[in-house]
Every structure is written in structure tokens, then in C-alpha cells.
Amino acid sequence: MSQKCIGIDIGGTTVKIGVFTTEGELLKKWEIPTRKEEDGKYILGDIAASVKEKAAEWDMPYADFVGAGMGLPGPVEPDGHIPFCVNLGWKAGNPQEELSALLGMPVKSGNDANVAALGEMWQGGGRGYQNLVMVTLGTGVGGGIILNEQIWPGVKGVAGEIGHMHVMDEEKEQCNCGGYGCLEQAASATGIARVATRMLAAEETPSVLREIETITAKDVLDAAKAGDELALAAINKAMRYLGWAMASITMVVDPQAYIIGGGVSKAGTFLTDMIQKYHDVMSPMSTQKAKVVLAELGNDAGIYGAARLILG
């Protein structure tokens, strides 16, 4: 009998599910659609049914499961209560208690960005670190704070919302959060594209980006890697804001490492070297610098972290 745990990552379109050994080996993974109709009332039932069906199909004795973890796209309080979950259509409730009753095993839940950070700590770019901050550079900028191998969700679930740290004091365009000059407005995929687009409009410098109608972060990164001066300036500007915010995080929680994930992180060490440089320059107080490393688990970070969550 080998003990197993289940990791569930609920997104707005699909639910990813994985079965792991308690040592962290991914044995099986699959996806089911997220049925958001009627306030998402079918989601948890669908998950439970799918887990039971797959366990039977693969002859996995149900008694081997020590429990399941679940990542949710919204704030989660320490006891599993959620105030709402807009992306799934859920109102206030305690989905982890509901799923536990449906599955007949212990269930723990957390915010998806935090859970992904835990996954990277367990089996990804953060292996070997007990204290780290994950930075996800996607459409927005997300974050997760891991202290002593545990998610630090904050008192109201706001901890790790590093995309909404204020960095651009002159910014006139409003962020989704209602603020102005948030990190996300510069360092997300959207942000990088905007920084470059503004530079193109403001400067005369020739650039390969001028031939592109709608510039993406990938365009900017590819051009920068190829030596395009303006693209390089744009990516440096965006990553300096990120390094600045991370230097501030270092002054607050002083982690061992930063794990950089999300679509933008596909630019690899070209990006992390730049982030490391700005972080280090902007945190002179810290003599032994936190390491900036790449995430390794991609879209599976959520199921890894969810599975790790139930292991305590």
C-alpha cells in the first residue's frame, strides 16, 4: 500500500486533477471542463465523480488517498471559507468542506497563485528552499508567499498580491484594482507590451517593433534578445520595476529565493538575469542576495501545490 494524494486546480475553463505519491511523484493527471452554469453548482460534484471514476479505472484503492488539495481562483480564508469566487460563479461558502463530504477524505484549499508557489517549492524551481516568493508574469502579475514551507495567505487573503504594489508614481492610467501605477501595469505581458508601445510613440529610435501592428510581450522579448535597442530599453524598464518591487519584498520578508513563472518567464535566464540585477542593486541592505530562478512546473504547478497542501 503506497500513500497517495490528489491535487485539484480549478480554473475558469478547466479543472486540472493529478494523483501524486506523497513523495511528490505525479502518477496520473487529467482535466475536466469547469461547468460554471447555475452559479457553478456542478463543479464540486463533477470533480468528486471524476476522481472516483478514475480511481476505479486505475485500480487505486480509495484507502490509499490521504486527502486532496484544491486551488481556487480567488481569496480563501484559513478555514477554507470563501467570501465569493467570481470566476467560478460561487458565492460565500466553504467548498473544501463540501468537497471533503463528497470525496470522503480530508480536503484543504488555498488561493491558486499561493498554491502554485507551494507546488514550485515542493517539486519545481523552488526545491530545497523553505522560504520563497513566487512571481507569476502572465496577463497580470500574481504572487505567492511561502514562509517555513507554508503558504502565508495574510489576514484577509491579500498577501502575495504583488502585482498591485505601487511603483510608477506618474502613471495616469488606472489599474484593474482601482489604483494607479501598479507593478502589473509594467511587468505583466500586457504591461511589457504597453511599455514598449509607449516608447515607440515617444521616441524616434528605429526598431523592428515598428513593423508590428499589435505588439505582444513575446515580440518585445524576442526583439530584445536579438539586440533591438528600443525593445531592450523597454524590457529593462519593465524589469527594473519588477526588481524594485522585489527589493521591497526582500526588506519585508527576506526570502531565500524568487521563483519566476507565467508565460513571460518563457524568455528564460535572459529575463531572470535582468531581474536579479535590478533586485540586487535596489536592495543594498541585503548582503546575501535572494536567488532569482525560473519556475519549472508550468501549468502543473497548481496541481502539485494543491497535492502538497494536504500534506500539511
Closest separation in Å from C-beta 252 to a copy of itself: 5
Residues 218-277 that bind a copy of itself (CB under 8 A): 244-245, 247-256
Compose the 176-205 pattern: x for residues touching a copy of itself by CB under 8 A, - for all others: -xxx--------------------------
**Cβ nearer to a copy of itself, comparing 159 with 274:** 159
Q: Can you tell me the distance from the alpha carbon of 282 to that of 248, in angstroms, rounded to the nearest whole number? A: 8
**Cβ nearer to a copy of itself, comparing 22 with 286:** 286
**Cβ nearer to a copy of itself, comparing 178 with 227:** 178
According to the binding rule CB under 8 A, does residue 166 interact with a copy of itself?
yes
Closest separation in Å from C-beta 154 to a copy of itself: 2
According to the binding rule CB under 8 A, does residue 155 interact with a copy of itself?
yes
Closest separation in Å from C-beta 108 to a copy of itself: 18
Size of the residue set binding a copy of itself (CB under 8 A): 41
Closest separation in Å from C-beta 167 to a copy of itself: 8
According to the binding rule CB under 8 A, does residue 285 interact with a copy of itself?
yes
Q: Can you tell me the distance from the alpha carbon of 117 to that of 132, in angstroms, rounded to the nearest whole number? A: 8
According to the binding rule CB under 8 A, does residue 152 interact with a copy of itself?
yes
According to the binding rule CB under 8 A, does residue 128 interact with a copy of itself?
no
According to the binding rule CB under 8 A, does residue 86 interact with a copy of itself?
no
According to the binding rule CB under 8 A, does residue 160 interact with a copy of itself?
yes
Neighbours of 306 (CB within 10 A): 33
According to the binding rule CB under 8 A, does residue 13 interact with a copy of itself?
no
Q: Which residues contact a copy of itself (rule: CB under 8 A)?
A: 131, 145, 147, 152-162, 164-166, 169, 177-179, 244-245, 247-256, 282-288, 290
